[in-house]
Amino acid sequence: MGYLDGFAVTFRKIFKGAGDGETLTRNYIKDEGGKRDKPVRLHGRHVLNRYEDGMEKCIGCELCAGVCPAKCIYVRGADNPVDDPVSPGERYGFVYEINYLRCIHCDLCVEACPTEAITESKLFEFSFTNRRDAIYTKDELVVGDDGRPQQLPWEDWTDIEDVEDNTSAWMRATAPGGSAEFEGIVAWAGELGYGVRDAETGQSDEGANS
Amino acid sequence: MIFGVDPLLDGGIGWPEIQVVLLKVVLAFALLMISVMFMVWFERKIHADMTNRVGPNRAGPFGLLQTLADGIKLFFKEDLIPDKADRKVFLLAPYLSLIPAFLIFTVVPVGGDFTTTEKPGVVGILGQDTLLQIADPGIGILFVLAMSSVAVYGVMLAGWGSGSKYPLLGSVRASAQMVSYEAALGLSVAAVVLMTGTLSTRDMVIVQAGEGFAGFIPNWNVIVTGVVPFVIFLIAVTAELNRPPFDLVEAEQELVGGFHTEYSSIRFALFFLAEFMNVVTMSAIIVTLFFGGPAGPQWFGVVSGTIWFVSKLLVFLFVFSWFRATLPRFRYDQLMDMGWKALIPLSLAWLLLLAGINIGRDQGWNLGLVVAVGFAGVVLGWALLARAVGNHAHRRALEEANEAR
């Protein structure tokens, strides 16, 4: 019955059990095992990283703001105070704001950043209820003293144990030359709370380090 | 008698009669809205099950309130009217597709005892004898066809009034499709009218509640008219409703959202509501025309009729969801081919065949001979049509080859 076979297939699917593995989607949060594992290169909300000694990596160069296709980043640089420098360089990010109503999480800012100051975490569940909350300021973006992202009241962090360490995985999974077949050469600075991190595997070695 | 022959209105119209009518209208409206709400949920669940997904399960138990949540969300969204829109037409269009969907339901008998010979389908509400349908006009089924034609205006004007390209393309497609399939729809309804000898929906149910075949097969029109008109009606109605596999109107890959691309907020919700309400009302029409409506054994007391009606209705709601989960979308030329070259000739031929058999029965001719001659005629006509279509396709292929050279 060539034409009608499809109807039998879809009809049979109704009577499959709930947990027999045939259902491709699964419940959100509630299911056993919580949320699904995040891919290493998932683009979540940004963090502003710090060096191991607590200095901020951002030098206020505004390259991220320049490259941003959605024009969601606003940066103002300022000269470091001589007696109490914020970053190791000459200047630091005085104002740093990202408007998450505009951000498309393309990660171009991460690519543009010369000091690996801005990276993206795996946190993507932040549904704020007003426009003011959508603009993350520098105080909110910069990592805490333990090197972890700061949790804002409206952010959902139920699977934080799995993702909190992965704030710079994108950087560490691509060769400095841009090659997708990453060679494993460490070419990045240390981070507050983590030190110099190990290399992530590249795309050719999938699943080895997820 | 446009208002029909409801026994309620026999003894003049006073306050009690108005009360009953108001009660029926309000009840029908509320029930229809609620049924649409659950229809959306039902379809999403069935579709999810059939495609190995979970489906809505967050709002309320089993996600039952998902539609309500969506509705509230849409209601509070910003209502945009494009600059280039033809304002009046733009604002009018959603109502033109929603109101016919409501009106069609007014002629559907939803309950009552049709097994009795005296006062079939009549029930008592507030001490008044009345029918369980809002109106029973003598031209019931014509009214249905007329209203489903008016719905085309809703789609057409929505596309036109948007002042935008894709909605216009979508609405041109939609109206061409709806007009094409309306012919097949009307012809298959004509077959039912021919066999039952009435245009009134209530009388159709009364006829179908009559003595069936072999004691247990009911006298439903689907059998009396020989299944073919039912199949044609089902296909034509799916096309008329712009439901998958005939949803080229809103083919996302080609037309964004089709005719309702420019609509947002509550106006979009009205289109959405109309679409699903049309599924419910058209399923009700199918049940009334071909499956005896509320007719059935009186096993459950007063509500048996309604229980039969609802269970038959559910089957067709399921069938529409099943179509959606199973069939891929038609291509536009395939759609038109099927409408004009297959469904319309077939329904026309079947109508003539039924008419021939009816005349043969009246005149006392040999029924076997009539059927044989009729079928021979149908086959001959089909062969001629196939040859004509084939010839044309061949000629066009030749022309195209010539032009290419």
State the complex-level ipTM: 0.72
- d(C-alpha B30, C-alpha A99), whole Å: 44
Based on the fold, state whether residues B15 and B164 are members of the same structural domain.
yes
> Which strand (E) or helix (H) includes residue B153?
helix B140-161
Domain assignment present for residue B399? The answer is: yes
Tell me the residues of B at the A interface, defined by beta carbons under 8 Å apart: 46, 49-54, 57-58, 322, 325-327
Based on the fold, state whether residues B307 and B166 are members of the same structural domain.
yes
Across B148-176, b (16+ Cβ under 10 Å) vs e yields bbbbbbbbbbbbbbbbbebbbbbbbbbbb
Single out the residue in B297, B330, B363 at which a domain terminates.
B330
Contacts of A184 (CB under 8 A, 6+ apart): A199, A201
- d(C-alpha B134, C-alpha B394), whole Å: 53
Based on the fold, state whether residues B89 and B179 are members of the same structural domain.
yes
Hey, how many other C-beta atoms are within 10 angstroms of the C-beta on A112?
17
- d(C-alpha B107, C-alpha B103), whole Å: 8
Digits of tens for pLDDT over chain B (405 positions)? 444 566 777 667 778 888 888 888 898 899 888 988 889 999 998 888 888 888 888 888 888 888 889 889 988 888 888 888 888 888 888 888 889 988 898 888 888 777 777 777 777 777 777 778 888 888 888 988 888 888 888 888 888 888 888 888 888 888 888 888 888 999 999 998 988 888 888 888 888 887 777 777 788 888 888 888 999 999 999 988 888 888 877 766 677 777 888 888 888 888 888 888 989 999 999 999 888 888 878 787 778 888 888 999 999 999 999 988 888 888 888 888 888 888 898 898 889 888 888 888 888 888 888 888 888 888 898 888 888 888 888 888 889 888 887
Domain assignment present for residue B105? The answer is: yes
Single out the residue in B311, B330, B349 at which a domain terminates.
B330
Nearest to B378 by CA among B185, B226, B220, B272: B226
User: A23 and B325 in contact by Cβ < 8 A?
Assistant: no
Domain assignment present for residue B337? The answer is: yes
Single out the residue in B276, B308, B330 at which a domain terminates.
B330
Based on the fold, state whether residues B314 and B223 are members of the same structural domain.
yes
Q: Between B15-50 and A5-14, two packed helices, what is the crossing angle to 10 degrees?
A: 100
CB B89 within 8 A of CB B161: yes
Give the count of domains, chain B: 2
Domain assignment present for residue B215? The answer is: yes
Reading phi first (left if > 0) and then psi (alpha if -120 to 50, else beta), residue A77 is in: beta
Based on the fold, state whether residues B316 and B350 are members of the same structural domain.
no
Hey, how many other C-beta atoms are within 10 angstroms of the C-beta on B260?
27
- pLDDT at site B1: 42
Q: Which of A9, A23, A28 sits opposite B53 (nearest CB)?
A: A23
Contacts of B193 (CB under 8 A, 6+ apart): B141, B199
Residue A24 touches partner B, C-beta closer than 8 Å: yes
- pLDDT at site A70: 92
Based on the fold, state whether residues B120 and B202 are members of the same structural domain.
yes
Based on the fold, state whether residues B55 and B139 are members of the same structural domain.
yes
Q: Which residues of B touch A27 (CB under 8 A)?
A: 54, 57
Based on the fold, state whether residues B133 and B242 are members of the same structural domain.
yes
User: How is chain A classified by DSSP, letter by letter?
Assistant: -GGGHHHHHHHHHHTS-TTSS---S--SSSSTT-SPPPPTT----EEE-B-TTS-B------HHHHH-TT--EEEEEEEPPSSS-SSSSSEEEEEEEEETTT-----HHHHH-TTS-EEE-S---B--SSHHHHEE-HHHHB--TTSSPPPPTTB--TTHHHHTT-SSHHHHTS-TT--SS------S--BTTTBSPPPPP-TTSTTTT-
Residue A130 touches partner B, C-beta closer than 8 Å: no
Q: Which residues of B touch A9 (CB under 8 A)?
A: 326
Residue A6 touches partner B, C-beta closer than 8 Å: yes
**ω into residue A81 within 30 of 0, thus cis?**
no
- pLDDT at site A20: 59
Domain assignment present for residue B1? The answer is: no
Domain assignment present for residue B68? The answer is: yes
Domain assignment present for residue B163? The answer is: yes
User: A10 and B326 in contact by Cβ < 8 A?
Assistant: yes
Domain range A37-205, CATH architecture: 2-Layer Sandwich (3.30)
Based on the fold, state whether residues B306 and B393 are members of the same structural domain.
no
Based on the fold, state whether residues B320 and B341 are members of the same structural domain.
no
Digits of tens for pLDDT over chain A (210 positions)? 577 888 888 888 887 755 556 677 777 665 555 677 777 778 888 999 999 888 999 999 999 999 999 999 999 999 998 888 888 888 999 999 999 999 999 888 988 888 889 988 888 888 888 888 999 999 999 998 888 888 888 887 777 777 777 787 777 777 666 676 777 777 788 888 888 888 776 666 555 444
3-state secondary structure of B25: helix
What does the block give as tokens for B251?
């083919």
What beta strand segments (E) does B45-135 contain?
A: 122-125, 128-131
Longest Cα–Cα distance in chain B: 81
Based on the fold, state whether residues B325 and B340 are members of the same structural domain.
no
Q: Which residues of B touch A7 (CB under 8 A)?
A: 322, 326
Where in chain A are the domains? 37-205
Q: Which residues of A touch B53 (CB under 8 A)?
A: 23-25
Q: pTM (2 decimals)?
A: 0.78
Closest chain A residue by Cα to residue B46: A14
CB A64 within 8 A of CB A204: no
Domain assignment present for residue B188? The answer is: yes
User: A22 and B52 in contact by Cβ < 8 A?
Assistant: yes
Question: Could you tell me the residue range of the domain that residue B382 belongs to?
Answer: 332-405
- d(C-alpha B158, C-alpha B260), whole Å: 7
Q: Which of B53, B322, B327 sits opposite A25 (nearest CB)?
A: B53
Based on the fold, state whether residues B147 and B11 are members of the same structural domain.
yes
Q: Which residues of A touch B62 (CB under 8 A)?
A: none
- pLDDT at site A210: 42
CB B159 within 8 A of CB B89: no
User: B52 and A7 in contact by Cβ < 8 A?
Assistant: no
- pLDDT at site A30: 59
- With 0-12 / 13-18 / 19 or more C-beta atoms within 10 angstroms meaning exposed / middle / buried, residue B126 is exposed
